[in-house]
Amino acid sequence: MHLTIIQFTGFLFAGALAAGFLGALTGLGGGVVIVPLLTIVFGVDIRYAIGASLITVIATSSGAASAYVREGYSNIRIGMLLEIATTIGALVGAYLGGILSPSFIAIIFGLVLVYSAYLSSRPRAEHAPAHTSDSLALRLKLPSSYPVKGEMVDYGVHNVPAGFGLMGLAGVLSGLLGIGSGAVKVLAMDHAMKLPFKVSTTTSNFMIGVTAAASAGVYLHRGYIDPLLAMPVVLGVLAGSLTGAKVLGRSSPKLLRIVFSIVIFVLAIEMIYNGATGRI
């Protein structure tokens, strides 16, 4: 398929628009499908794809930040502490990205996608927020409060070292694959640290941009970030996710979520197959 720049940029913008729209509508994020879209559909080398995807992740995370702050759910101390783990992880991931073969990276990408599709197909159980805290969490001043129906409710924090370790892993995946790895971040805060659902989701979004910026610097120096390729992707995903967030309101479209999970699953299998057969 030989496309001219005008066709290539136009199709790419349309694809990114759809990804951003579906990502916002389903709450799965559009960033995770950018790399498969670029490599499988447009035949772009996975290194350029990772560069464009990282930039897109930063754009959507920063664009949504002010809305999350206004709601008053995110915990900046937890975010900042865990960012030490995610930025170190992201630098390690970016380093690994320079020495591992593209085929191997594609296979890991596919496996992470399968896991994300699996996670998103299951409803997240809201557990009762913890009222006690570990001594380490208290010393780090992590426990805080968040609004529930207009009233501030206190919550406790647990297992800081386990959360920190999982965040390091989230950082490595983010740096290696050019994704936000929001799924792993939420897992670390939900399950390990026992944070309330809304606090972990918004704090995760707070951290995604910073984590992505840590590896984006390395990739910029390595020449992975191409302006012509990144332009339609960033603009498309931003426009798509803003529109998606407006349409969304308060409903959660279940069918769409299932459809998008299936799309992610198919792309994942394709990534693994292409990686295993050496086409990526």
Partner 1 sequence: MAQLAGSKTSEHREHAIEQFIGNLLRVCVIATVVIVVVGGILFLPSILWTAPSYSKFVGEPAAFRSVAGILGQALTGDGRAIVQTGMLLLVLTPILRVAFSVFAFLYEKDYLYVVLTLVVLGLLMFSLLAG
The site for partner 1 (CB under 8 A) is made up of 2-6, 8-9, 42-45, 47-48, 55, 58-59, 61-63, 65-70, 72, 76-77, 80-81, 83-84, 87-88, 90-91, 94, 140-141, 209-210, 212-218, 220-231, 234-235, 238
To the nearest whole angstrom, how small is the minimum distance from the Cβ of residue 163 to partner 1? 15
Q: Which is nearer to partner 1, 26 or 86 (CB)?
A: 86
To the nearest whole angstrom, how small is the minimum distance from the Cβ of residue 257 to partner 1? 26
Q: State the Cα–Cα distance between residues 179 and 183, nearest whole angstrom.
A: 10
> What is the DSSP pairing of strand 151-155 with strand 144-148?
antiparallel
To the nearest whole angstrom, how small is the minimum distance from the Cβ of residue 28 to partner 1? 21
Residues 6+ apart with CB under 8 A from 23: 29, 30, 31, 32, 33, 60, 237, 240, 241, 244, 260
Tokens of 51: 């560069």
To the nearest whole angstrom, how small is the minimum distance from the Cβ of residue 5 to partner 1? 5
Q: Which is nearer to partner 1, 251 or 277 (CB)?
A: 277
Q: Which is nearer to partner 1, 72 or 278 (CB)?
A: 72
Asked if residue 87 lies in contact with residue 171, where contact means CB atoms within 8 angstroms, the answer is yes
Per DSSP, the residues of 131-176 read S---HHHHHTT--EEEEETTEEEEE----HHHHHHHHHHHHHHHHH
Radius of gyration in angstroms for the set of CA atoms belonging to the chain, rounded to a whole number = 18
Q: Which is nearer to partner 1, 2 or 149 (CB)?
A: 2
Q: Which is nearer to partner 1, 163 or 257 (CB)?
A: 163
CA dist list (Å): 248 to 37, 154, 251? 24, 29, 6
Q: Which is nearer to partner 1, 7 or 132 (CB)?
A: 7
Q: Which is nearer to partner 1, 9 or 120 (CB)?
A: 9
Q: How far apart are the first and last CA of the chain?
A: 17
Q: Which is nearer to partner 1, 53 or 261 (CB)?
A: 53
To the nearest whole angstrom, how small is the minimum distance from the Cβ of residue 112 to partner 1? 21
To the nearest whole angstrom, how small is the minimum distance from the Cβ of residue 231 to partner 1? 5
To the nearest whole angstrom, how small is the minimum distance from the Cβ of residue 201 to partner 1? 16
Which three-class secondary structure state does DSSP give residue 50? helix
To the nearest whole angstrom, how small is the minimum distance from the Cβ of residue 130 to partner 1? 21
State the Cα angle at 43 between 214 and 9, rounded to 5°.
80
> What is residue 249's DSSP assignment?
T
